[in-house]
């Protein structure tokens, strides 16, 4: 299976930066065909990203969207809007959404449902805070996030889902403590077990990704190719050369 590599640009770059980014990133396209690479820019940049990458192996996705199909929600983006722009996946419940925008597991669950209803792959983001790990609550917290996050998926006949395990303390803008790879693999195994318990079918084929200050130096440590099959990259995806190096490390 190809490694899955998702770049999360967060609230960085502008549409004017996309052309140069794409030229540099696509300079060695052969490597990119050996991975499944998706870039998630901020919503207003999606048309520029779609234009720059449409004839390349690179796909694009959304960082977030609302759980309602449409309506009077000033400032929000719907799943239909992302889908219409060719997004193949959408991040649901990133820890920054949970922290700064008070997203609850229930909201995340409805986003996962809406992404699925619009034929995009929901990337369910889960992960504990530093305090929660310190208090030995990390397993309980993450299992709850998984269970609630996929709660509404059983209504769909076929399953398309990715899970991204991103311990909040490992993300580059937080403490960015480098985790022990064996702890990451152990948590990924627990996530797989929770998926087996909750999903009637398809749990084995849900890719589990790791995120948290992934860079060209450490990417390989966290991807064993069996339990963890990809990465969600924030800061290091902003520089096309660095992001390309991560791809090179994992293929």
Site string for ligand PGA, 3-22 (x = CB under 6 A): -----x--------------
- Report if residue 128 touches ligand PGA, rule: CB under 6 A: no
CA atoms within a 13 Å half-sphere pointing along the CA-CB vector of 105: 14
Helix axes 105-117, 138-149, angle to 10 degrees: 40
96 counts as catalytic: no
In the complex with ligand PGA, the residue whose CB is nearer, 80 or 88, is 88
CA separation (Å) from 21 to 39, 115, 150, 203? Answer: 11, 27, 35, 36
Q: How many CB atoms lie within 10 A of CB 248?
A: 15
41 touching ligand PGA, by CB under 6 A: no
> Binder to ligand PGA among 194, 232, 247, 250 (CB under 6 A)?
232
Nearest-angstrom CA–CA distance, 59 and 71 = 28
Check 36, 66, 94, 118 and give the catalytic one. Answer: 94
By beta-carbon proximity to ligand PGA, the closer residue of 214 and 247 is 214
Interaction between residue 214 and ligand PGA (CB under 6 A):
yes
In the complex, which residue's CB is closest to ligand PGA? 234
Number of residues near ligand PGA (by CB under 6 A):
13
Is the Cβ of residue 95 or residue 152 nearer to ligand PGA in the bound state?
95
Long-range CB pairs of 79-82, under 8 A, 24+ apart, other chains included: 79/111, 79/114, 79/115, 79/117, 79/118, 79/120, 80/118, 81/43, 82/43, 82/46, 82/118, 82/120
Residues in region 167-206 near ligand PGA by CB under 6 A? 171-172
Beta strands in the chain (DSSP E): 4-8, 36-40, 59-62, 89-92, 121-126, 162-165, 208-211, 230-233
Q: Which stretch binds ligand PGA (CB under 6 A): 177-185, 192-200, 218-226, 228-236?
A: 228-236
Q: What phi, psi does 244 have (nearest 5°)?
A: -65, -40
Pick the stretch among 26-34, 110-118, 198-206, 209-217 that binds ligand PGA (CB under 6 A): 209-217
Dihedral (Cα; 15, 20, 22, 27), 10-degree rounding: 180
In the region spanning residues 76 to 95, those forming contacts with ligand PGA, defined by CB under 6 A, are: none
Window of 42-50, 197-205, 207-215, 219-227 that interacts with ligand PGA by CB under 6 A? 207-215
Comparing CA positions, the residue from 244, 205, 44 lying closest to residue 233 is 244
Which residues fall within 8 angstroms of residue 181, CB to CB, at 6 or more apart? 221, 222, 224
Residue closer to ligand PGA, measured from CB, 8 or 114: 8
**Residue 233 lies near ligand PGA (rule: CB under 6 A):** yes
Q: Give the shortest CB-64-to-ligand PGA separation in angstroms.
A: 12
Answer yes or no whether residue 127 interacts with ligand PGA by CB under 6 A: no
Q: Which residues bind ligand PGA (CB under 6 A)?
A: 8, 166, 171-172, 211-214, 232-236
Q: Which residues are annotated as catalytic?
A: 94, 166
């Amino acid at each position: 299976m190809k490694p899955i590599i998702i770049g999360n640009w967060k609230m960085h770059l502008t549409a004017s930066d996309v052309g140069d980014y794409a030229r540099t990133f696509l300079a060695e396209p052969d490597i990119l065909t050996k991975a499944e690479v998706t870039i998630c820019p901020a919503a207003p940049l999606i048309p520029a990203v779609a234009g720059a990458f449409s004839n390349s192996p690179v796909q694009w996705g959304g960082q977030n969207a609302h759980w309602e199909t449409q309506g009077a929600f000033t400032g929000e983006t719907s799943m239909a809007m992302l889908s219409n722009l060719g997004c193949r996946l959408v991040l649901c419940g990133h820890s920054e959404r949970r922290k700064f925008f008070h997203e609850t597991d229930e909201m995340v669950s409805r986003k996962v449902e809406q992404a699925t209803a619009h034929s995009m792959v929901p990337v369910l983001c889960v992960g504990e805070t530093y305090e929660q790990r310190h208090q030995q609550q990390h397993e309980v917290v993450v299992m709850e996030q998984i269970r609630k996050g996929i709660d509404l998926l059983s209504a769909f006949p076929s399953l398309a889902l990715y899970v991204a395990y991103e311990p909040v303390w490992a993300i580059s803008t937080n403490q960015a403590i480098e985790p022990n790879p064996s702890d990451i693999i152990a948590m990924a195994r627990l996530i797989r077990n929770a998926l087996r318990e909750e999903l009637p079918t398809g749990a084995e084929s849900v890719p589990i990704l790791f995120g948290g200050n992934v860079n060209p130096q450490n990417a390989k440590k966290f991807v064993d190719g069996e339990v963890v099959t990809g990465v969600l990259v924030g800061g290091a995806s902003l520089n096309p050369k660095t992001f390309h190096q991560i791809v090179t490390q994992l293929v």
